[in-house]
Amino acid sequence: MKRWIWEQESYPDFTYDLFRLERLIQEVSLEQGYLIALTQTMDSDNIAQRQLEALMSEAISTSAIEGEMLNRDSVKASIARKLGLLGIDSLKGDESTDYLIEILIDANTNYDKPLTLERLFGWHNALFPRGYRGLSKINVAEFRGEDPMEVIGGAAGKEKTYYVAPPLSILEHEMERYLQWFNTTPPSLIKSCIAHLWFVIIHPFDDGNGRIGRAITDLVLSKIEKSSVSRLYSMSSAINNDRNGYYKALEKTTGYVHKESNHLDITDWCEWFLTTLHTALIDTKKKLDYIVQKTTFWDKFREYDLNPRQTKVLNKILDMGAENFQGALSKKKYMTIADASSTTASRDITQLIEIGCIRHIEGTQGRNVRYEIVLEIK
């Protein structure tokens, strides 16, 4: 008979192979430190912009994982209202999005406050302010009901039970143990792995367990990084890009069907989690590198009187990152981006070469001549 991880005799004494995880932990810690150091070279406007983008990605992605698609403009408007940002139409937001943003900001700024049932119930109420999931009424800001909490999938008639959560009768005890552990365990990357997994194992609510579990992850990571408002990257965005891997890692860990021994070994889950976190950090490092490159580039060429067309083309390349600007810059691309004639494009390109903003790529010539932006700052 299949038994779940919470039914094991030694639960919740999770084990993991630190030797397998040590390299990943070091790599993630290195990237976290790099991002913190990089922000010290960026101005406050660029940092605020990246925080806005990361918060938007987190809100949209944590909902998308659960199959809920949020309107990007609505999310941006809700963030603008909460943070008092200017230049953004804050009237496009809606109540439910506002509340989700409140949860994320709370997790990313109030990480020194204890995690309590009252706080979790507040988050849950914010996710379901009207007490419904679609057309179904659910228990809000309280534990789920008596009905078994099962994760079921598969085609009709061939359903498969992937997981059964602990029954209501032991939920209060389960959450007491979880919160006691959470509030007395120092922040670490392993803690972020366990905090997410253990909360999902308990599955205390009718709905929203995944989103709240990911908010708890934010809480731990923000504590490690001492973030404000939002970290500069989105863990949920990276998870959303590998949803199949996310659910497979959970399934493999929460049931013992795939394990021959040591049913409390969570190494596979930690490995997937840390790899995904590392991916999120690397992606963000690239984006921040582009911002630093762009800032340094314009610091160098600010004194030159470039026309709006030239500025538009250069910003297009810098915003994408030179390595992502497929095929390099050609006169035809310049004409398209700047909405310029062939003669005007040739004149603009010649001037940019003379100034030193771009250079001819060696080996290209004639109609196939290509140019690249000059990012080496001397």
Buried b (16+ CB within 10 A) or exposed e, 47-85: beebbbbbbbbbbbbbbbbbeeebeeebbbbbbbbbbee
Judge whether 153 is annotated as a binding position: no
Element (H, E) at 372: strand 371-373
List 124, 196, 203, 263, catalytic entry: 203
Judge whether 213 is annotated as a binding position: yes
Judge whether 183 is annotated as a binding position: no
Which residues fall within 8 angstroms of residue 377, CB to CB, at 6 or more apart?
Answer: 296, 297, 300
DSSP track, 305-353: ---HHHHHHHHHHHHH-GGGSTT-B-HHHHHHHHT--HHHHHHHHHHHH
Judge whether 210 is annotated as a binding position: yes
The CA distance from 217 to 97, in Å, is 20
The CA distance from 139 to 289, in Å, is 45
What interhelical angle do 72-83 and 95-109 show, nearest 10?
A: 60
What distances in angstroms separate CA 145 from CA 122, 140, 171, 252, one per listed residue?
Answer: 18, 11, 10, 26
Is 263 designated active site? no
Judge whether 88 is annotated as a binding position: no
Cβ-contact 374, 356 below 8 angstroms: yes
Supply the residues annotated as catalytic: 203
- Annotated binding-site positions for ATP: 207-214
- Annotated binding-site positions: 207-214
